[in-house]
Structure 1
Amino acid sequence: MTMYSTKWFLFVSVLLLLISASVKGQENLTGYWQPQIAINYPVSGPYSHNFSIANRNYIFDNEEFTLKGRQLDVVHFSNLKVRDNQSIALGVQYRFRSNFENRENELRLTQQYNITNQPFAIRYGHRFRAEQRITNSLTIHRFRYRFALDFPLVGEKLDVGEPYFVGSLENLLSVAKYNAPQYDARLSGQVGWQLNGGIKFQVGVEYRMEDYSAGVPQHILFLLTSAQISL
């Protein structure tokens, strides 16, 4: 691990620990465990698909530790690379909530633009998304910007069997008819491993502050585990 990578890794780790400690005693804290599996596969030239399934489960709710399902997300993205470091994508997602709670299911449509830059060992990314979250009772329009970085934790180049770090900071704005705008923020850090056969495994945490302009924002902590397969 380079000294530069070590400093970034320690900085993000300490920051996430401080966030966790600061919200631990909050009554409006919810904790989730979210495992996910994703498959990336090429179609033709710069055009590719991504398919994923994620299951969100409560692990801390109403000031008690628990383990119960909340939702199941099925997601598909069609990606088109327009330049070496730029791409556009269209996505469709269906969220199953009624199977777990007395809540409506959701259809989500996504439009995305992504740009990356890698001057040295660290790769930076900017992602812009517009979403339409559609339920029977309401349609929410959400606009998202995410800044992300990733880098190998051993050496300057990621090789098979070696770990890497991924971190991101995202801001979100949600608007809907007759509802006040909602502002959210998300901070995440994950460590991953590049395995044989185009497989990556990642584990990490994410902190979300939802509706932070309100008097009592919601604090959410995620334990994230994921497997990514590139065909």
Structure 2
Amino acid sequence: MKFLKFGLLFLITGMLTNAAFAQSADLIWSPEISYSWKQSDRLGFSAKVSMFNSLRDLDNRSAVRYIEPQMTFSYSSSPRVKLGGGYYYRNSTPFLPGNQYEHRFLEQIGFVSYIGDKRIAHRLRAEQRVRSSSYQNRIRYRLSYDFPLNGEELDNGEKYLILKNEIMTAFNKDAADAENRADIGLGWYFNDKRKFELGLQYRTQDIFSDSGISHLFLLRTSYYMNQ
């Protein structure tokens, strides 16, 4: 079973990487760092900073597509349901003249379901994006499943596999579009206060665009800290 799990991870990662180069898709590296803390048993907060870097432009100032600080909160209304909201600020092309901004407000609900003893996580999110160029609404639904590579329980020092898929639609009074994001990743659970994740995401963008569908491959490196 352990061999099959590792084999699946490397097979899918290799296929996605080869496809990225074959299609001349946009290649992005997104590092992020997150810190979370609890105000009470039900109420928690999280602060995160992430970047969006073009791997094709690392030799010039246009490599940094944006820098994005984030602040979110969650409230556990029951053991299986969390309500939340937050605010993002995006500074696009910060090292080029005429950089643009985005203020993003979000509301979300997260809940879990079970297939046998397998825990499936769901997230439904609404966003209001106030950008320097326009205003846009977005609705997102994400399905995710994490499981340890050794045994049934995740213990300190163990690795885990991450599978996610998210669909979304963005719209305003003038236009609408859609996007799909598929993720596979590997996580290292150091303890209940620290973990690290390495993931590969494939984005199918501009699904309803007249100019045709575009493709993006994103390498994500994430470090999480808890109080």
* Fold similarity call, TM over 0.5: yes
Task: Classify the secondary structure of the residue corresponding to 1:157.
Answer: coil
- Counting only pairs closer than 5 Å after superposition, residues 109-148 of structure 1 correspond to structure 2 as 109-118=105-114, 122-148=118-144
For the residues of structure 1 that align with 2:14 and 2:41, how far apart are their CA atoms?
42
Aligned to 1:176: 172
Contact 1:161/1:196 (8 A) holds in 2: yes
Answer yes or no: is 1:70 the counterpart of 2:65.
Answer: yes
Aligned to 1:33: 29
Task: Classify the secondary structure of the residue corresponding to 2:132.
Answer: coil
Task: Classify the secondary structure of the residue corresponding to 2:39.
Answer: strand
Task: Classify the secondary structure of the residue corresponding to 1:60.
Answer: helix
Answer yes or no: is 1:88 the counterpart of 2:83.
Answer: yes
- Structure 1, residues 162-192: CA drift from partner, whole Å, max 9, x if none? 101111001010001222x111000011111
> In the TM superposition, what is the alpha-carbon distance from 1:143 to its structure 2 partner?
0.5
TM-score between the two structures when normalised by the length of structure 1: 0.88
Aligned length: 223
> In the TM superposition, what is the alpha-carbon distance from 1:200 to its structure 2 partner?
0.3
For the residues of structure 2 that align with 1:212 and 1:6, how far apart are their CA atoms?
36
Aligned to 1:211: 206
Task: Classify the secondary structure of the residue corresponding to 2:17.
Answer: helix
For the residues of structure 1 that align with 2:119 and 2:47, how far apart are their CA atoms?
24
Task: Classify the secondary structure of the residue corresponding to 2:212.
Answer: coil
- Structure 1, residues 113-145: CA drift from partner, whole Å, max 9, x if none? 001135566421111000011113311100001
Aligned to 1:19: 16
Contact 2:206/2:213 (8 A) holds in 1: yes
Q: 1:197 to 1:156 in 2, by over 3 A?
A: closer
Alignment identity in percent? 26
Aligned to 2:185: 190
Match of 2:217 among 217, 221, 225: 221
Matched residue type, 1:36:
E
For the residues of structure 1 that align with 2:12 and 2:208, how far apart are their CA atoms?
22
The Cα RMSD (Å) is 2.1
Q: 1:90 to 1:126 in 2, by over 3 A?
A: same
For the residues of structure 2 that align with 1:56 and 1:186, how far apart are their CA atoms?
16
Matched residue type, 1:14:
L
Task: Classify the secondary structure of the residue corresponding to 1:158.
Answer: coil
Aligned to 2:52: 56
- Structure 1, residues 15-67: CA drift from partner, whole Å, max 9, x if none? 3433332342334x211111111011000220010110001111026xxx757
Q: What runs of 5+ residues in structure 1 fail to find an aligned partner?
A: none
Q: What runs of 5+ residues in structure 2 fail to find an aligned partner?
A: none
Task: Classify the secondary structure of the residue corresponding to 1:213.
Answer: coil
